[in-house]
């Protein structure tokens, strides 16, 4: 069975549609969403609807939570704060109902799914390095924890009680006695210098987990954002992947 995991769409419908089309090409049988359907981009309502149509398991992200009024936006940077306030104004009743059904974390097959960290899911902390990973391995039981939030793909693995190590390839075969934390990157706003949308593809037969990049129509997404007078910084960054 082929499974797909995706995160951080951030209301970028062009990127989301490209990824969903790639799921068909890759013969994905089930897909799972790991948070932040909204925020930053121009199409929160269509993105929420498309995500919910494609998945049964949907994880809550900090932008989703903030857009529902569950956390204050004071902790967000000015651009995120502006986009959240705009998102609150345009979210439909249907989108609010759908977002309200997202869960904080889930166990699926061999995977623990959480947007930020398994240690403190609702603190919205970033897991960025080996020290962060080492600490968080103690907070989930599954062989693999999949996260998003930083928008930067990352694979960390740990053999039994040894220290965690960084895995530098884009795909890894999940081995017995090893545990993994994988940041699956961002669909709608990558920040690793590569503007292509990113998601994780898993083949249960080969046990290969692979980070996949998908090109999309960035210019169309930017034109929509410009037409809505969204911050120029947010418009420019999606073409730079930063």
The answer to whether 221 and 238 are in contact (CB under 8 A) is yes
pTM reported for the whole predicted model: 0.96
CB atoms within 10 A of CB 54: 19
Q: How many CB atoms lie within 10 A of CB 117?
A: 24
Q: Which residue is listed with tokens 């949907």?
A: 58
| Sequence-separated (6 or more) residues with CB below 8 Å from residue 11 | 37, 38, 39, 40, 41, 42, 43, 44, 47, 87, 188
Range of the domain at 94: 2-240
| Position 76 confidence tier, pLDDT thresholds 50, 70, 90 | confident
Q: Which pLDDT does position 77 carry in this prediction?
A: 87
183-233: per-residue pLDDT in tens?
A: 999 999 999 999 999 999 999 999 999 999 999 999 999 999 999 999 999
Out of 29-33, 72-76, 164-168, least confident range: 72-76
Q: What's the mean per-residue pLDDT of the chain?
A: 96
Per DSSP, the chain holds a count of helices (H) and strands (E) of 8, 12
| Contact of 211 with 171, CB cutoff 8 Å | yes
Q: What CATH number has the domain bearing residue 158?
A: 3.60.21.10
How far lies 109's CA from each of 141, 143, 156, 187, in Å? Answer: 12, 10, 19, 23
> How far is residue 152's CA from residue 149's CA, in Å, rounded to a whole number?
8
3-state secondary structure (DSSP) of residue 217: coil
Question: How many structural domains comprise the chain?
Answer: 1
Q: How many CB atoms neighbour CB 214 within 10 A?
A: 18
Question: Which residues, in sequence order, are CB contacts of 97 under 8 Å at separation 6+?
Answer: none
Burial of 77 (C-beta count, 10 Å sphere; 0-12/13-18/19+):
exposed
The CA-atom distances, in angstroms, between 195 and each of 151, 154, 160, 165, 176 are 11, 16, 35, 26, 34
Give 79-126 pLDDT, tens digit per residue.
Answer: 889 999 999 999 999 999 999 999 999 999 899 999 999 999 999 999
Tokens of 178: 């090893």
């Amino acid at each position: 069975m082929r499974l797909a995991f995706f995160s951080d769409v951030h209301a970028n419908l062009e990127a989301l549609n490209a990824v969903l089309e790639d799921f068909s090409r890759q013969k994905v049988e089930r897909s799972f969403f790991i948070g932040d359907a909204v925020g930053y981009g121009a199409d929160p309502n269509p993105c929420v609807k498309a995500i919910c149509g494609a998945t049964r398991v949907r994880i809550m992200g900090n932008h989703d939570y903030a857009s529902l009024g569950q956390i204050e936006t004071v902790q967000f940077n000015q651009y995120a704060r502006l986009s959240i306030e705009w998102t609150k104004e345009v979210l439909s009743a249907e989108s609010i109902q759908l977002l309200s059904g997202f869960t904080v974390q889930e166990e699926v097959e061999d995977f623990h799914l959480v947007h930020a960290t398994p240690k403190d899911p609702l603190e919205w902390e970033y897991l960025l390095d080996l020290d962060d990973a080492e600490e968080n391995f103690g907070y989930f039981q599954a062989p693999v924890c999949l996260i998003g939030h930083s928008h930067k793909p990352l694979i960390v693995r740990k053999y039994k009680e040894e220290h965690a190590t960084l895995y530098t390839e884009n795909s890894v075969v999940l081995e017995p006695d090893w545990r993994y934390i994988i940041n699956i990157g961002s669909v709608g706003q990558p920040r690793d210098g590569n503007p292509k949308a990113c998601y994780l593809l898993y083949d249960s037969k080969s046990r290969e987990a692979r980070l996949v990049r998908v090109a999309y129509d960035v210019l169309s997404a930017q034109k929509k954002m410009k037409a809505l007078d969204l911050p120029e910084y947010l418009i420019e960054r999606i073409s730079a992947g930063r």
